[in-house]
Amino acid sequence: MGGLETAQFNALVVVGLLVFFYGGTFLISTRIGKKEENADGYMTAGNNIGFGISAASMTATWIWAASMYASATSGYTYGISGPIHYGLWGALMILFIYPFGRRIRAVAPKAHTLAEVMYARHGRSSQLMLAGSNVVGSLISLMSNFIAGGVLISMLSPFTFTQGVFAVAAGVLLYTLWSGFRASVLTDFVQVVAMLGAVAVIVPFIFLAADFPAAFETGAAHLTAEQGDFFSSVAFMEQGAPYIAAVLAYAIGNQTIAQRLFAVKEDLIKPTFITATIGYGAMVIGVGMLGVLALYLGYEPVGGDPNNIIPGMAAEYLPPVLLGLFFIMIVGALSSTADSDLAALSSIMMADVYGQNVAGKEKADPKTMLLVGRITMVVATALAVAFASLQLNILDLLVFVGALWGALVFPVLASFYWDKVSGKAFTTSVLAALAVFLPVRFGWISVDGAFGIVVDVLSVIGIGVVLGLMVFGFFGARAAKIVGAAAVVVSAPFAIGSLHEYATLCGSLVAYSVSTVICWAMSVRRREGFDFGLIAQRTGDFDGGSSAAAVPVSAAADGEARVPSPAGDADGDPEPAGTSAK
């Protein structure tokens, strides 16, 4: 690691790079600032963002420093298939969002958060459940990005990890606080262009400096049999499969994604998500290959911490100019997601907590909402800085949050397509799924014997649910049922009896299966239906615009918003993704 010592920047250079980056983004945000800020613009930028900005923002939000570090960790842990599992499935999940996104926008064209829509659909319980999960998820995401920034600065400068965390947190808050979501999406465009350009230069340079391809020939001895196998079952079961399930949950449950879905022009949803799919896959897989290279080189990350692989490799092989470019790339990646998390948290507190539950839709004051949003950003930043001192493993955090959101995926999606789903079914199914997920994921109960078989059976059902939902978005309910049932039948002989050995994967799959089975069972015989047209009336602008807030949510015993007449298919099935709101 002699290269690390000689390649470190002095304090003045690091301060200069941070001032250049955050000062530039702050100047950009001031150009779009408004004297009389608009609460709706602060949350969703008027639902009118164009293709270039929206595609870049979606890509930048999905590509964060944690995803780069985690992809490299995956390559270092599992070999060449690791970054493929991480980047490919993550990219495809972006693609799978868009058919659901079109339905969500058709039903709630002026909404600000998914939780706000759940309030209009079911009532307060499901809204707060979804909002609460997003608060936890966004705080963990924010903390992960601050960890990545602290690691980077501490390794490449005289500053400590804690000082690095404070510097990044202050920089992100500086340019996001005033203009909120609009500042986030506009700076995302600049950041993603810089990131893509940096990756195109830096990754090939490191490979050449490390004597590629000779390093892959001479370094094969450092690999285990599983690491050398592109089709490694260990890599798939421990990385690929859990990430497929986790990222689908991220796609549906994450407010940072939903916020961009509500902000982009409705007719640009498809090209936006397709472009983000390609950009994410290319960049994350490319950076993850640095972890594979480190594995072949026999590289030992500083302190044995896999979070140190990327900054350590950069310091080892890059000259000062490119190391500075690398520094900006990682800071840009973590900032683009951190500002999205702040914008998401502020929107949740503005729309779901203050707007719907404290003041009420009709009485909410837009100026007070802005104050709530800005205070939220400050408090969230302080909490994330405090939690970042724990220096938890980023890859574990990502998979955990995704699995946690798996409990919400079916109830949320079914609520947009199936008029029979009730608020009681939503709440019960999510709580039950969490009650099963936590002991399975953390091994609180032994999975040997009969309980292990039960976990395997639930996990097999979860496989069918995940694959069925993926197909449903594009091809409708009939194809989803066929694929889901086939997945259960095919996987059962191989999975039952052994799948419980993979706690991370099983935890995620049982969250999907339990929530799906209970939500379906509690809804299928329900006679009363929901008129989806009411959602658009019950959501909308807070600044005195289009919202027909006078239509109240029914105070039914189970919190469900109801109308007398059913609005679903005769057989009670969810409708295909292209079906318009009723």
* Measured CA angle at 146 (ends 145, 150), to 5 deg: 120
**Rounded-to-integer distance, Cα 122 and Cα 415, Å:** 8
pLDDT at 556: 40
- Say yes or no to pLDDT of 480 above 60: yes
Query: How far is the C-alpha of 212 from the C-alpha of 11, rounded, in Å?
Result: 33
User: Above 90 in pLDDT, residue 513?
Assistant: yes
**Which residue type does 390 have?**
L
The Cα angle at residue 85 between residues 80 and 89, in degrees rounded to 5: 150
Contacts of 46 (CB under 8 A, 6+ apart): 38, 40, 263
Highest mean pLDDT among 223-232, 351-360, 380-389: 380-389
Which of 493 and 4 is assigned the larger pLDDT? Answer: 493
Q: What is the pLDDT of residue 50?
A: 83
CA 580 – CA 582 distance, rounded (Å): 6
| Partners of 49 in the β-ladder | 264
Residue with tokens 């099963």: 436
**Average confidence (pLDDT) over 271-297:** 88
Identify any residues that bridge with 202 across adjacent strands, giving them in sequence order.
Answer: none
Q: Quick check: 571 pLDDT over 50?
A: no
Long-range contacts from 229-233, C-beta under 8 angstroms, 24+ separation: 229/79, 229/81, 230/79, 230/80, 230/81, 231/81, 232/78, 232/79, 232/81
Report the alpha-carbon distance of residue 473 to residue 488 in Å, rounded: 19
Query: Could you give the CA distance from residue 43 to residue 490 in angstroms, rounded to a whole number?
Result: 45
Mean pLDDT rounded to a whole number for the chain = 81
Identity of the amino acid at 324: G
**So what's the pLDDT on residue 544?**
60
